[in-house]
Amino acid sequence: MKLDILAFAAHPDDIELSCAGTLLKHIADGKKVGVIDLTRGELGSRGTAETRDSETKVASAILNLNVRENLRLEDGFFRHDKESILEIVRMLRKYRPDVVLANALKDRHPDHGRAGRLVVDACFYSGLVKIGTEDQGKSQEPWRPSHVYHYVQDTYVSPDFVIDITAFMERKMEAVMAYKTQFYSPGSQEPTTPISTPEFLEFLRARATEMGRNIQVRYAEGFTTVHPPGVESFFDLQ
């Protein structure tokens, strides 16, 4: 299956928190969209890898994704090395996306920046003819996506562009709350974390409001890019 957009994340729930509204918007427009989680989030203070797996299935159904896979790299300790890059290259060549989304290059969680850099490098290497990969015993053809963008996460980064998600904000929050062990749940006996408080959910809405203010809409999600995107004319810009 060829995808229009393939979003990579260090952990299950990174996508829901950071760019789910954007994915929902493109899916509603008929685009084929997939997600690749690098790890199962097994180092998370709340829940287990197994509960996160189950929650991810629920969130994926809410988002109506075409595909979601998990590379099962080691949470917290995956490396920027040949093996990790080749795992991502296999996914790029398997799904041949035009647009790739990746973790922020700088963020509070060290896995995020490392994952973002991994994906950027893998997108380059995926286009090299002399790097061979296989999928189910068959050689894969080189593929390099046209665009790589980074979603803004916990640490504020001034976006290079924002996308209006007003019509999809409530569905995004529904997907976020599919991760019941990770976020605020009254009566939970799990340890308190920076993302498990009611205030964190308020922060998510406030961040989307802040991004939306850039283009005078209620809610938006922001993205950065290493290479500036091209437009046909000034009138393509809001």
| DSSP per residue, 148-211 | EEEE--SS----SEEEE-GGGHHHHHHHHHT-TTTS--TT--SPP-TTSSHHHHHHHHHHHHHH
- Mean per-residue pLDDT over the chain, rounded: 96
Q: What angle do CA 12, 13, 16 make, to 5 degrees?
A: 135
Q: What is the pTM of this model?
A: 0.95
Instruction: Give dist(CA 123, CA 144) in Å, integer.
Output: 6
pLDDT at residue number 162:
97
DSSP class of residue 44? -
Cα 6 to chain centroid distance, Å, stands at 8
pLDDT at residue number 237:
83
Length of the chain: 238
**pLDDT tens digits along 54-66:** 999 999 999 999 9
Residue that has been written with the tokens 């950065």 in this structure:
224
Q: Are 196 and 46 in contact (CB under 8 A)?
A: yes
- The residues spanned by each domain of the chain are 5-226
Is residue 228 over pLDDT 90? no
DSSP class of residue 4? S
Instruction: Give dist(CA 93, CA 112) in Å, integer.
Output: 23
Is residue 236 over pLDDT 90? no
Residue that has been written with the tokens 């090299």 in this structure:
128
Is residue 187 over pLDDT 90? no
**pLDDT tens digits along 113-148:** 999 999 999 999 999 999 999 999 999 999 999 999
Which band of pLDDT confidence, cut at 50, 70 and 90, is reported for residue 98? very high
* Check whether domain 5-226 has CATH 3.40.50.10320, yes or no: yes
pLDDT at residue number 238:
79
**pLDDT tens digits along 6-46:** 999 999 999 999 999 999 999 999 999 999 999 999 999 99
